[in-house]
């Protein structure tokens, strides 16, 4: 398959250049005859989660298409949903380069991108231009230079801007590359955030006559008690879903390998075990009616099957897609 060859070539150039080149190519070829090269017709495997009917349960995880530039292209590859973002109210450049590293031996990536994105207004323009029926989740965050105590207002601003154009909204409090962000996962900060966003959701649902579910994205670096506390707050505020997990700060499975000492979040193969432990604990402590979108370390059909067996309602991939290409979507969908 030509797409497999293209994907192997991309492994030969620097990771961020490969990413930019791919996104640029996809953006410019979506809805043109060139789309034929990566289009995959997959059988319909509909699943209803958070009140949305997804054509299949395999989605693209946040961070790959932060500005929503290639939604139609990812849709044509067969993704059942595309999570764009993380988007922040104002554009920001992210951390200095280099900030993206491959650890090939382990099918892993370390990134410290730092929410580089063109801001929420630009994303809305791209969401309005979407031509396909792709189901889109919008992952929202706060600007780096917004003080943590004002962080809630950044989430509210993003939520208000994207509400009309999103199928669901993911509240990202778990990226390791925005200082202090993960502290929103605990205690009164979490309680206040979820309470406020639920009120805004009710107001916007009323205004627009459309209920857009809210999902909370959490880190893998949480102990059992912390996961149980999060589950209680999510249940109490009737949040619509949880996305587990983001990248990890742990390095146990990659020690000694090139780039393993780079700071940032680790994703891919070495994340699978801890992401599954969080998924398991979360599934047991969360109200059974609240769905979980499972992400972290899916490199094969068996990895996805394991997540469904533990209790995932949907799965997402990022690093597996980088190393294995669109074929991984197809293989998982066909196996369900
Ligand atoms: C380069 C890169 C950038 C990412 N950016 C974001 C982001 O902006 N927001 C977010 O919620 N997650 C982000 N993630 C995390 C992924 O969405 C996903 O949760 C994580 O990579 C684990 O899945 P995986 O093992 O399939 O990659 C990023 C991951 C990578 C590798």
Tokens encoding 195: 């309470």
Return the pLDDT at 286: 97
Q: What confidence tier does 186 reach under pLDDT thresholds 50, 70, 90?
A: confident
Return the pLDDT at 13: 77
pLDDT digits (tens, 9 = 90+) for 3-62: 666 766 667 778 999 898 999 989 999 889 898 899 999 999 999 999 999 999 999 999
Return the pLDDT at 2: 60
pTM, full prediction: 0.97
**Rounded distance from Cα 177 to ligand 1 centre (Å):** 11
Residue pair 139/157 in contact (Cβ under 8 Å)? The answer is no
**Average pLDDT, stretch 205-217?**
98
- Residue 116 near ligand 1, beta carbon < 6 Å: no
Nearest CA to ligand 1 atom 21: 267
3-state secondary structure of 309: helix
**Average pLDDT, stretch 301-309?**
98
**Rounded distance from Cα 4 to ligand 1 centre (Å):** 22
**Average pLDDT, stretch 176-195?**
88
DSSP result, 178-199: STTGGGGGSHHHHHHHHHHHHH
| Annotation marks residue 267 as catalytic | no
- Residue 63 near ligand 1, beta carbon < 6 Å: yes
We report the CATH number of the domain holding residue 60 as: 3.20.20.70
pLDDT digits (tens, 9 = 90+) for 273-293: 999 999 999 999 999 999 999
Structural domain count of the chain: 1
Q: Please state, rounded to an integer, the average pLDDT across all residues of the chain.
A: 95
d(CA 163, CA 165): 6
| 52-54 and 47-49 strand pairing | antiparallel
Return the pLDDT at 7: 67
- Which residue did the predictor score with more confidence, 185 or 302? 302
How far, in whole angstroms, is CA 121 from its chain's centroid?
20
The answer, yes or no, to whether residue 182 has pLDDT greater than 90, is no
Return the pLDDT at 120: 98
DSSP result, 138-172: EEE---TTS-GGGHHHHHHHHHHHHGGG-SEEEEE
Residue pair 250/277 in contact (Cβ under 8 Å)? The answer is no
Return the pLDDT at 239: 97
Tokens encoding 232: 């209680």
- How would you list the strands of the sheet with 108-111, edge to edge? 100-103, 108-111, 265-268
Nearest CA to ligand 1 atom 22: 296
Nearest CA to ligand 1 atom 23: 296
Domain that holds residue 295: 2-335
- Residue 267 near ligand 1, beta carbon < 6 Å: yes
- Residue 296 near ligand 1, beta carbon < 6 Å: yes
Residue partners of 176: CB distance under 8 A and separation at least 6: 112, 182, 219, 246, 247, 249, 264, 265
- Mutation choice for ligand 1 from 22, 62, 332, CB with most ligand atoms inside 8 A: 62
**Rounded distance from Cα 206 to ligand 1 centre (Å):** 32
**Rounded distance from Cα 107 to ligand 1 centre (Å):** 14
- Residue 295 near ligand 1, beta carbon < 6 Å: yes
- Which residue did the predictor score with more confidence, 9 or 143? 143
Return the pLDDT at 80: 98
d(CA 103, CA 267): 10
- Residue 175 near ligand 1, beta carbon < 6 Å: yes
Return the pLDDT at 110: 97
Nearest to 52 by CA among 225, 168, 178, 219: 168
Residue partners of 64: CB distance under 8 A and separation at least 6: 19, 23, 318, 321
- Residue 300 near ligand 1, beta carbon < 6 Å: no
Return the pLDDT at 81: 98
- Residue 100 near ligand 1, beta carbon < 6 Å: yes
- Residue 248 near ligand 1, beta carbon < 6 Å: no
H or E segment and range at residue 267? strand 265-268
**Rounded distance from Cα 208 to ligand 1 centre (Å):** 31
The answer, yes or no, to whether residue 295 has pLDDT greater than 90, is yes
d(CA 72, CA 319): 20
Nearest CA to ligand 1 atom 4: 63
Catalytic residue among 76, 174, 175, 274: 175
**Average pLDDT, stretch 231-254?**
96
The answer, yes or no, to whether residue 1 has pLDDT greater than 60, is no
**Rounded distance from Cα 65 to ligand 1 centre (Å):** 10
The answer, yes or no, to whether residue 250 has pLDDT greater than 90, is yes
| 52-54 and 292-295 strand pairing | unpaired
């Amino acid at each position: 398959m030509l797409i497999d060859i293209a994907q192997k070539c991309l492994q030969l150039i620097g990771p961020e250049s490969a990413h930019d080149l791919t996104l640029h190519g996809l953006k410019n070829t979506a809805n043109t005859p060139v789309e034929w090269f990566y289009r995959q017709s997959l059988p319909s495997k509909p699943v209803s989660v958070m009140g949305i009917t997804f054509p299949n349960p395999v989605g693209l995880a946040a961070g790959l298409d932060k500005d929503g530039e290639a939604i139609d292209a990812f849709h044509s590859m067969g993704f059942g949903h595309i999570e764009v973002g993380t988007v922040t109210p104002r554009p920001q450049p992210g951390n200095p380069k280099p900030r993206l590293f491959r650890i090939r031996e382990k099918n892993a990536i370390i990134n410290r991108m730092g929410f580089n994105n063109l801001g929420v207004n630009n994303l809305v323009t791209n969401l309005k231009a979407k031509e396909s029926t792709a189901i889109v989740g919008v992952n929202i965050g706060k600007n780096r230079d917004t003080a943590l105590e004002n962080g809630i207002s950044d989430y509210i601003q993003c939520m208000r801007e994207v509400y009309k154009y999103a199928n669901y909204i993911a509240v990202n409090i778990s990226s390791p590359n925005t200082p202090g962000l993960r502290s929103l996962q605990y205690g009164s900060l979490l309680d206040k955030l979820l309470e406020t966003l639920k009120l805004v959701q009710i107001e916007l649902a009323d205004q627009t006559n459309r209920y857009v579910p809210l999902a909370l994205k959490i880190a893998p670096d949480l102990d059992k008690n912390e996961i149980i506390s999060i589950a209680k707050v999510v249940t109490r505020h009737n949040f619509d879903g949880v996305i587990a997990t983001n990248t990890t700060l742990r390095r146990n499975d990659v020690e000694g390998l090139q780039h393993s000492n780079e700071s940032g979040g680790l994703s891919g193969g070495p994340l699978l075990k801890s992401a599954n432990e969080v998924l398991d604990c979360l599934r047991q402590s969360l109200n059974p009616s609240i769905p979980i979108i499972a992400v972290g370390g899916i490199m094969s059909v068996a990895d996805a099957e394991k997540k469904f067996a533990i209790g995932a309602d949907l799965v997402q991939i990022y690093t597996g897609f980088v190393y294995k290409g669109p074929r991984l979507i197809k293989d998982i969908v066909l196996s369900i």
